[in-house]
Structure 1
Amino acid sequence: MSSPADMTGGPELNHPRVIVTRPEREAMAWAQALRALGVDSETLPLIEIAGLSEASGLVQAWQAGAHHLAVMFVSANAVRFFMAAQPEGLAVPNCRAWSTGPGTRAALLASGWPEGLIDSPDEKAAQFDSEALWTLVAGQVQAAVAEAVRAQPSVLIVRGADAQGQVAGRDWLAQQLESEGLQVFQAVAYVRQAPELTPEQCQRAHQAMTDGSWWLFSSSEAAQHLLQACPDLPLSQARALATHPRIAQRLLASGWGRVDTVPAGLAAQAESIKSLA
């Protein structure tokens, strides 16, 4: 978790204080960006990202990559682990790359995926999710199906799995693609698991239930991990921010006392947070 020393050297910070719960790499970058925009923030990563013990599935996905209409990446981590498994001698697939948000798009650009082949919601989009992506790519999909003569068009979805190896995340986009007549293949690139919180982190979590802090969740899985690590938290007294209505609903159903929805985009999110009463 970040310390007060992390807050120096930037603009004057405004309350309320926000606890960023993303995986550590993303949490640190997000908290730093919020502080630069005047939002008092710290990190308590509640999702741990780990590589696969055996990556043959990713190698096979690479070998078939050029045959797909598109490769859809669910997160920046999906991009990083997929690109890390690139077999020697194989180029980046010459197909569309789909992402649901600017972080994933930035990871694709950093990995060398041609900018002209990337489809992603605008940074000012109201939501970064499968539905927002679908509005951009539905035309591609329908055109590919209409033009197909021999082979059925396909999309590869690169995503994470939970600690038990089960595919993590929603299947809405896969179902949508299949209903349009596409084949959908899945490739697991990494594992999302619960971190082991230190006694100090659990103590801070208890304090944050009642000290006016706002917990920022971009995944309901992070909230589940918090309760697994600290099962006796007084949630009814706590305040949470959710970046999507589905996450907000799950938090309320779990017993969080107050849950507000904030934009997923950084700048709009910072403004929303600063307006909280």
Structure 2
Amino acid sequence: MTPACVIVTRPASDARNWVRRLQQAGLQAEALPLIEIAPASAAADVLALQQAWQTLERYSACMFVSANAAEHFFRPNTALAQSETAQSAINSIVNMDPDRLPPTLRLLAPGPGTVAALRAVGVPAAHIDAPPPEASQFDSEALWQVIGQRDWQGRRVLVVRGQTVAEDGGAGSSGRDWLARQWQAAGAEVDFVVVYQRRAPQLTAAQLRRAKAASVDGAIWLFSSSEAVANLLGQPALSGLDWRRARAVATHPRIAGVLRAAGWGVVAASRPALADIRAVLGSIESGHP
């Protein structure tokens, strides 16, 4: 029996990496990116990033919501600045050096992907706090289990994150603020800086045909974001598509719930680690998700 193809829905660069890893594990996989990532280019965001770097010594911790947040914080893109002021600011921070980080600053990551991104830009492992590799989930709740018992009273925290851009060009929801609320309840002051934008992609005709086929041909979708699900369902060309024969693996219970509510026929949750995903894929193919 030919193994089902895994449809990887992460942003393009992440999707390519996951396709490679799945193929190396002996699985069929292809990318269908359902989130587009771009640097934050508004003058206000560029200037806020400059200010964050200039005032890092004020913070006890800097939390990165994703690998993209880490990459864009340390390697801002100069190509998209929308004003001379923003261009001047971003030129001053284009080569952010982890050696400039205050020695007492803790860098926080919700999971191994973000840890890897921080390590890739040169942050020492000893400066990073994250859920352990054996954690049941990699998210804000898991990170809080690691850091929540610390004394946050009177301390200041910087959250580095992305922003969803709505179809009309406006800014949509910037994501859950659960972790910020925990810090605030513990007496900390929380600041935010937006370093990248997430957009719904404009799928090509070929990608739309593939999506329609993958709703019925036994392919297994791999979702790591509820936003990716929304971007897929929001494609006008896919409006009204019946997903009852579709199958999916979701890397968080919340994503699994979104898929079930959207009518997916088979949905299984998995830890976002290759070994776990591979095992869940096998259980789906065996008919015991």
Which interval holds the TM-score relative to the shorter structure? 0.7 to 0.9
Contact 1:208 1:238 in 2 (8 A): yes
Instruction: Count residues with an aligned counterpart.
Output: 257
Residue 83 (structure 1) aligns with: 74
Distance in 2, Cα, partners of 1:158 & 1:42: 30
CA distance in 1, matches of 2:37, 2:227: 13
In 2, Cα distance between equivalents of 1:65 and 1:165? 26
Q: Is residue 197 from structure 1 mapped to residue 196 from structure 2 by the alignment?
A: no
What residue identity is the alignment partner of 2:57? A
CA gap of 1:166–1:186, structure 2 versus 1, over 3 A, is farther
The residue correspondences of 1:16-95 to structure 2 (distance < 5 A) are 16-54=4-42, 55-85=46-76, 87=93, 91-94=100-103, 95=105
State the match for 1:243 in structure 2. Answer: 251
Pair 1:129-2:139 in alignment: yes
Distance 2:102 2:14 in 1: 26
Question: What TM-score does the superposition give when structure 1 sets the normalisation length?
Answer: 0.87
- Assess if the C-alpha contact under 8 Å between 2:74 and 2:96 holds in 1: no
Quickly say closer, same or farther: Cα 1:223–1:89, change in 2 above 3 A.
Answer: closer
> Partner letter of residue 43 of structure 1?
A
Does 2:282 match 1:271? no
Residue 234 of structure 1 aligns to a residue in which SS? coil
1:155 aligns with 2:157: yes
Q: Against the structure 1 CA distance between its residues 89 and 19, is the aligned structure 2 distance closer, same or farther, given a 3 Å change threshold? A: closer
RMSD over equivalenced CA pairs, Å: 1.8
Give the SS at the match of 1:260.
Answer: strand
Distance 1:121 1:39 in 2: 28
Can you give the 5+ residue segments of structure 1 that lack an aligned partner in the other structure? 1-12, 146-151
Greater shift, 84-93 or 246-255, is seen at: 84-93
Letter of the structure 2 residue corresponding to residue 56 of structure 1? L
Hey, what does 2:228 align to over in structure 1?
Answer: 222
Partners of 2:38 and 2:281 lie apart in 1 by: 31
* Superposed displacement of residue 66, structure 1: 2.0
Are positions 1:172 and 2:172 aligned together? Answer: no
Residue 14 of structure 1: how far off its partner (Å): 6.7
CA contact (8 A) 1:125 1:265 kept: no
Q: Does 1:110 align with 2:112?
A: no
SS at match of 2:30: strand
Contact kept, 8 Å, 2:229 with 2:259, in 1: the verdict is yes
Matched residue SS, 2:138 = coil
1:167 is displaced (CA, Å) by 4.7
Report the secondary structure of 2:148's partner residue: helix
